[in-house]
């Protein structure tokens, strides 16, 4: 495994501005084609509390209902290829995650422990598709456990070189399962998702019971109201206008609790140590419209 590196202050701000370029271009294509999206997680918190990136946050997150996610993929070629491209398993067969990324053209960003992966790399913005979950809690729990197993199969290619002993053997065995298997399994659920169904939603290929969600009641733990992704408002973010959930207060309390309280110094750390990074030679001037 390569030695972990962190961004210096100049690189850190440059990373944010490169991600901003991609957000602006993504927003342009979505507005042009009437596709719904929301800034989510730390990006929504940044918009509300800081009017831009959280000063110590080095990533950006977008949430979309599956129907809008699929529509965006139909129009992804409209993005300016000088700025960014869209990556998921359909566009890059070596890509092993169940959600998509906007990748900045002409960059490199390799996470520690993932140097051996064959997928394309680059500075990125995560794009999370939100899928329907069962109406009842028992069904939600079963779906969550099933998706957990599928995610471990996808993760096994990383885990097999980053674990030791029993776990190294176990993940080495899992990594022999064709990657098409978990993606086919996820599709059993994603085909049923529609914006007008009454179900709660979640990203099936991302943990729903991690630190962001475990504090919530079990009836709310495995999914979020669909209205968080359909009832939207515009927010200023780094001088640009982007969409996010209209009921930002409920969303942020659900995720963070007292979201206006700043974390202590230990909570202000970079998210993803990397082993290699390359920035674009120049930032392109982009605009919202």
Which pair of tokens denotes residue 78?
Answer: 């409209």
> Is the pLDDT reported for residue 16 higher than 80?
yes
Over range 72-85, report the average pLDDT: 97
Number of alpha helices (DSSP H) and beta strands (DSSP E) in the chain: 9, 10
- Of 55 and 217, the structure prediction assigns the larger pLDDT to 55
Distance of CA 49 to the CA centre of its chain: 20
> Is the pLDDT reported for residue 289 higher than 70?
no
Strands (E), 16-79: 38-39, 61-65
Residues 65/195, Cβ–Cβ less than 8 Å: yes
| pLDDT given for residue 267 in this prediction | 72
Strands (E), the chain: 38-39, 61-65, 84-87, 100-104, 108-111, 124-132, 201-202, 232-237, 240-245, 274-278
- Rounded Cα distance, 161 and 168, in Å: 7
| pLDDT given for residue 283 in this prediction | 56
Q: What percent of the chain has pLDDT over 90?
A: 72
> Is the pLDDT reported for residue 44 higher than 90?
yes
Q: Work out the mean pLDDT of the chain and round it to a whole number.
A: 90
| pLDDT given for residue 209 in this prediction | 67
Question: Given pLDDT bands bounded at 50, 70 and 90, which one contains residue 288?
Answer: very low
Over range 185-213, report the average pLDDT: 82
- Rounded Cα distance, 112 and 182, in Å: 24
| pLDDT given for residue 26 in this prediction | 98
The pTM for the full model equals: 0.92
| pLDDT given for residue 1 in this prediction | 58
| pLDDT given for residue 287 in this prediction | 40
Element (H, E) at 59: none
> Is the pLDDT reported for residue 215 higher than 90?
no
pLDDT, one tens digit per residue, over 230-285 is 999 999 999 999 999 999 999 999 988 899 998 887 777 776 778 899 998 765 54
Which pair of tokens denotes residue 261?
Answer: 């309280």
Question: Given pLDDT bands bounded at 50, 70 and 90, which one contains residue 214?
Answer: confident
Q: What percent of the chain has pLDDT over 70?
A: 94
Over range 158-173, report the average pLDDT: 95
Residues 255/41, Cβ–Cβ less than 8 Å: yes
pLDDT, one tens digit per residue, over 124-161 is 999 999 999 999 989 999 999 999 999 999 999 999 99
């Amino acid at each position: 495994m390569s030695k972990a590196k962190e961004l210096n202050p100049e690189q850190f701000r440059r990373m944010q501005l490169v991600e901003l370029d991609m957000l602006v271009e993504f927003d342009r294509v979505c507005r042009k084609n009437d596709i719904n999206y929301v800034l989510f997680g730390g990006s929504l918190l940044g918009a509300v509390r800081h009017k831009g990136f959280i000063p110590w946050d080095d990533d950006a997150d977008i949430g979309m209902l599956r129907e809008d996610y699929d529509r965006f993929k139909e129009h992804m070629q409209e993005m300016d290829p000088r700025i960014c491209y869209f990556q998921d398993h359909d566009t890059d067969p070596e890509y092993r995650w169940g959600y998509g990324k906007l990748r900045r053209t002409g960059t490199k960003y390799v996470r520690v422990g993932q140097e051996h992966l064959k997928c394309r790399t680059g500075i990125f913005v995560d794009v999370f598709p939100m899928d329907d979950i069962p109406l009842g809690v028992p069904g939600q729990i079963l779906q969550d456990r099933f998706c957990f197993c599928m995610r471990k199969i996808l993760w096994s290619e990383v885990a097999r070189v980053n674990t030791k002993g029993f776990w190294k053997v176990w993940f080495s065995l899992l990594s022999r399962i064709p990657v098409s298997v978990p993606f086919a399994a996820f599709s059993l659920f994603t085909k049923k998702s529609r914006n007008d169904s009454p179900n709660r939603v979640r990203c099936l290929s991302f943990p729903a019971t991690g630190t962001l969600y475990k504090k919530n009641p079990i009836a709310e733990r495995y999914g979020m109201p669909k209205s968080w992704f359909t009832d939207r408002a515009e927010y200023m973010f780094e001088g640009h206008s982007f969409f996010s959930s209209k009921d930002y207060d409920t969303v942020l309390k659900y995720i963070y609790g007292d979201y206006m309280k700043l974390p202590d110094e230990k909570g202000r750390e970079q998210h993803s140590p990397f082993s290699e990074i390359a920035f674009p030679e120049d930032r392109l001037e982009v605009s919202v419209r």
